[in-house]
Amino acid sequence: MPLQSDMDQLAINTIRMLVVDAVQKAKSGHPGTPMDAAPAAYTLWQRVLRYDPADPGWINRDRFVLSSGHACMLLYSLIHLAGVKAANPTYEQIGRDAVTLDDIKAFRQAGSRCPGHPEYGWTSGVETTTGPLGQGAATSVGMAIARQWLSATYNRPGFDLFDFNIYALCGDGDMMEGIASEAASLAGHLRLANLCWIYDSNRVTIEGHTDIAFTEDVAARFMAYGWDVRRVTDANDMVMLEQAYRAFHQTQDRPTLIVVHSHIGYGAPHKQDSPEAHGEPLGEAEVRLTKQFFGFDPDQYFVVPDGVRGQFAAQIGARGAEQRKAWQAMFARYRGEYPGLAEQLDCIGARGLPSGWEAALPVFPPSATGLSTRDASGRVLNAVAEQIPWLVGGAADLTPSTKTRMTFDSAGDFQPTGALGNYHGRNLHYGVREHAMCAAVNGMTLTGLRAFGSGFLIFTDYARGAIRLASLMDLPVLHIWTHDSISVGEDGPTHEPIEQLVSLRAIPGMVVVRPADANEMSEAYRFVMQQQHRPVALICSRQALPIVDRTRFAPAAGLAKGAYVLADAAGGKPDVALIASGSEVSLCLAARDLLAAEGVSARVVSMPSWELFEEQDSAYRDSVLPPALTARVTVEEGSPLGWQRYAGSAGVVLGMRTFGMSAPMKVVAEHFGFTADRVAAAARQAMGRGTAAEATQ
DSSP secondary structure letters along 131-196: -STTHHHHHHHHHHHHHHHHHHHH-BTTB------EEEEE-HHHHHSHHHHHHHHHHHHHT-TTEE
Amino acid identity for residue 200 in this structure = D
**Cα(587)–Cα(215) distance, rounded to whole angstroms?**
56
| 8 Å CB contact between 527 and 560 | yes
pLDDT band of 78, cuts 50, 70, 90: very high
DSSP, collapsed to helix, strand or coil, labels residue 228 as strand
Lowest mean pLDDT among 82-96, 230-244, 612-626: 82-96
- The b/e string for 252-288 (b: 16+ C-beta within 10 A; e otherwise) is eebbbbbbbebbbbbbbeebbbbbbbbbbbbeeebbe
According to the model, what pLDDT value does residue 420 have?
A: 47
The answer to whether residues 548 and 562 touch, using CB atoms and an 8 Å cutoff, is no
**In this structure, what is the dihedral angle of CA atoms 42, 47, 50, 52, given to the nearest 10 degrees?**
70
Contact 399, 425 (CB under 8 A): no
pLDDT at position 211 is 83
Look at residue 25 and give its three-state secondary structure.
helix
Give the C-alpha separation, 3 to 12, whole Å: 14
Range scoring the smallest mean pLDDT among 90-104, 443-457, 516-530, 550-564: 90-104
* Residues 215-250: tens digit of each pLDDT: 899 999 999 999 999 999 999 999 999 999 999 999
pLDDT over 80 at 365, yes or no: yes
Taking Cα atoms as reference points, which of 160, 148, 165 lies closest to residue 333?
Answer: 160
Average the pLDDT over each of 325-339, 427-441, 561-575, 677-691 and give the range with the smallest value: 677-691
> pLDDT at residue 649 above 80?
yes
Contacts of 383 (CB under 8 A, 6+ apart): 360, 361, 362
The whole-number pLDDT of residue 309 equals: 97
B/e letters for 346-367, b = 16+ CB within 10 Å, e = fewer, are ebbeeeebeeebeebbeebebe
Residue 307's SS3 state is: coil
- Judge whether 509 and 476 are in contact, CB under 8 Å: no
pLDDT of 80 above 60: yes
Coil, helix or strand at residue 453: strand
What burial class does residue 162 get, using C-beta atoms within 10 Å of its C-beta: 0-12 exposed, 13-18 middle, 19+ buried?
A: buried
The domains located in the chain, with CATH, are 6-324 (3.40.50.970), 357-546 (3.40.50.970), 559-696 (3.40.50.920)
CA–CA dist 80, 101 (Å, integer): 7
Question: In sequence order, which residues have a C-beta less than 8 Å from that of residue 326 and are 6 or more positions away?
Answer: none
Q: Which of 415, 542, 404, 556 is nearest to 478 (CA)?
A: 404
Please choose, from the candidates 339, 137, 94, the residue with its C-alpha nearest in 3D space to the C-alpha of residue 227.
Answer: 137
Long-range contacts, 294-300 (Cβ 8 Å, 24+): 294/13, 294/16, 294/17, 294/267, 295/13, 296/13, 296/17
CA distance 679 to 432: 38
> What stretches of 192-307 show up as alpha helix (H) in DSSP?
218-225, 238-250, 275-279, 284-293
**Residue 5 CB-half CA count within 13 A:** 10
Strand partners, 422: 414
Contacts of 649 (CB under 8 A, 6+ apart): 630
CA 430 to chain centre: 15
Cβ atoms of residues 602 and 576 within 8 Å:
yes
Pairing of strands 367-372, 544-547: antiparallel
The catalytic site residues sit at: 434
Distance CA 256, CA 165 (A): 11
What pairing do the DSSP bridges indicate for beta strands 208-209 and 204-205? Answer: antiparallel
Q: What is the pLDDT of residues 247-284, one digit of tens each?
A: 999 999 999 999 999 876 544 555 555 544 556 788 99
| CB 404, CB 378: distance < 8 Å | yes
User: What length does the chain have?
Assistant: 697
pLDDT tens per residue across span 332-356: 999 999 999 999 999 999 999 999 9
Least Cα distance to 117 among 75, 58, 78, 82 occurs for 75
Nearest residue to 105 (alpha-carbon basis) of 290, 284, 295, 301? 301
Mean pLDDT score across all residues of the chain: 94
β-bridge partners, 209: 204
Rounded alpha-carbon distances, angstroms, from residue 96 to 100, 101, 174? 8, 12, 33
Whole-Å CA distances, 436 to 137, 226, 400, 477, 482? 10, 17, 20, 14, 18
Q: How far apart are CA 334 and CA 160, in angstroms?
A: 10
DSSP state of 535: -
Instruction: Kindly report the backbone phi and psi dihedral angles of residue 307, in degrees, each rounded to the nearest multiple of 5, phi listed first.
Output: 95, -20
Give the span between the Cα atoms of 474 and 219, in whole angstroms: 35
Q: Note the pLDDT tens digit of each residue in 383-420.
A: 999 999 999 999 999 999 999 999 999 999 999 975 44
What angle is formed at CA 112 by the lines to CA 63 and CA 165, rounded to 5 degrees?
0
Residue 695: pLDDT over 60: no
Alpha-carbon distance of 313 to 318, in angstroms, equals 6
3-state secondary structure 570-625: HHHCCCEEEEECCCHHHHHHHHHHHHHCCCCCEEEEECCCHHHHHCCCHHHHHHHC
**265 DSSP 8-state letter:** T
Give helix then strand counts, H and E, for the chain: 27, 20
pLDDT score of 500 more than 70: yes
pLDDT at 697 over 50: no
Residue 674: pLDDT above 80? yes
Share of the chain above pLDDT 90, in %: 89
How far is it, in rounded angstroms, from Cα 637 to Cα 630? 22
Name the E strands within 74-121: none
- pLDDT on residue 419: 47
